[in-house]
C-alpha cells in the first residue's frame, strides 16, 4: 500500500513529454489578448485538462480548459460574452472557449487559474525551456 502511494506521488510530480499535435490552434486570434507565442502552453493546458475535448463536463470543471463555473462567470463577460454567465463552458462553441481562455490568461497574469498546486502535472506546461 505504501509503495503504491509513493509510486503514484512520484508519477504525479514527474513531468512527461506531452504530445499536443492533435490539439488545434486557437480559433480565437483577436488582437486584445491572443498570444501566438504562448500557443504551445495553451495546447498543453488543454491536453492536461481535457485531452482536447471541448465538450468535457465534469464536477471539477467544464470545456476544454476545465473552467469552474465561477471562473467562467467572471471571465466570459470580460471577453464580451455577458449572455453566457451561468452557461456551462462545455455548451459553448470552441471559438468562445478559446476567447475566454485568452482573456483569463491575460498575458500570463492569469496562469494561476491552471495551478500546479492542484495539478502538479501542469508544471510541464509552464516550463519555458521546453517551449
Asked if the structure places residue 14 within a domain, the reply is no
- Euclidean distance between CA atoms 114 and 45, whole angstroms: 8
32-56: average pLDDT: 94
| Torsion on CA atoms 35, 39, 41, 42, rounded to nearest 10 | 90
Asked if the structure places residue 6 within a domain, the reply is no
* 67 DSSP assignment: B
Question: Is the pLDDT confidence value at 27 over 70?
Answer: yes
Higher-pLDDT residue of 9 and 101 is 101
Q: In the prediction, which pLDDT does 5 show?
A: 42
What is the residue range of 124's domain? 22-130
Asked if the structure places residue 7 within a domain, the reply is no
Mean confidence (pLDDT) of the chain: 85
Please calculate the CA angle 123-79-40 and round it to the nearest 5 degrees: 30
Question: Is the pLDDT confidence value at 1 over 80?
Answer: no
- Euclidean distance between CA atoms 22 and 2, whole angstroms: 37
Amino acid at each position: 500500500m505504501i509503495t503504491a502511494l509513493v509510486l503514484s506521488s512520484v508519477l504525479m510530480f514527474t513531468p512527461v513529454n506531452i504530445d499536443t499535435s492533435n490539439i488545434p490552434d486557437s480559433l480565437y486570434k483577436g488582437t486584445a489578448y491572443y498570444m501566438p507565442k504562448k500557443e504551445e502552453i495553451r495546447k498543453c493546458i488543454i491536453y492536461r485538462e481535457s485531452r482536447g475535448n471541448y465538450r468535457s463536463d465534469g464536477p471539477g470543471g467544464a470545456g476544454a480548459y476545465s473552467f469552474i463555473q465561477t471562473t467562467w462567470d467572471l471571465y466570459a463577460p470580460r471577453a464580451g460574452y455577458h449572455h453566457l454567465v451561468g452557461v456551462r463552458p462545455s455548451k459553448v462553441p470552441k471559438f468562445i472557449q478559446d476567447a475566454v481562455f485568452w482573456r483569463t490568461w491575460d498575458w500570463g497574469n492569469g496562469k494561476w487559474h491552471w495551478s500546479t498546486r492542484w495539478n502538479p502535472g501542469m508544471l510541464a506546461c509552464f516550463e519555458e525551456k521546453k517551449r
